[in-house]
């Protein structure tokens, strides 16, 4: 594929924000394991989370997520918190790409 042939598939703009994130596995019988990470980027419908242990996470897993947006970052992102479920789209050596479920809660910042 040549450089000019690449088509961006993202529907929403991604912001390079480092936000505290909690992930919890929702796998069947497996004990729910919680871990802390940090986003490298985030958009309205997804995020890339790093600084986590990826060995037990695979594509198509569903995770429970909680992402906090510090007040200093709220001018760049319209939510103060994102809570709910997300689907793992991709796992690589640095982290996981997540797509938020339709019913994820996005808590807006009060003016």
Q: Decide yes or no: CATH 2.40.10.220 for domain 12-108.
A: yes
Identify which has the larger pLDDT, 53 or 28: 53
Which pLDDT tens digit goes with each residue over 59-103? Answer: 999 999 999 988 777 666 778 899 999 999 999 999 999 999 999
What is residue 5's predicted lDDT score, i.e. its pLDDT? 47
Which pLDDT tens digit goes with each residue over 23-51? Answer: 998 765 556 689 999 999 999 899 999 99
List the domain boundaries for the chain: 12-108
| Alpha-carbon dihedral sign for residues 9, 15, 17, 23 | negative
Query: At CA 32, angle to CA 30 and CA 36, rounded to 5?
Result: 135
pTM over 0.75? The answer is yes
């Amino acid at each position: 594929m040549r450089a000019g042939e690449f088509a961006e598939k993202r529907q929403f703009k991604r912001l390079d924000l480092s936000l505290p994130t909690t992930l919890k596995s929702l796998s069947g019988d497996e004990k729910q394991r919680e871990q802390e990470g940090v986003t490298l980027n985030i958009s309205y419908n997804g995020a890339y989370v790093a600084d986590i242990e990826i060995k037990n996470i695979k594509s198509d897993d569903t995770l429970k997520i909680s992402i906090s947006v510090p007040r200093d970052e709220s001018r760049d992102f319209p939510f103060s918190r994102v809570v709910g479920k997300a689907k793992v789209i991709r796992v690589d050596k640095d982290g996981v790409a997540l797509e938020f479920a339709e019913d994820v809660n996005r808590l807006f910042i009060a003016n």
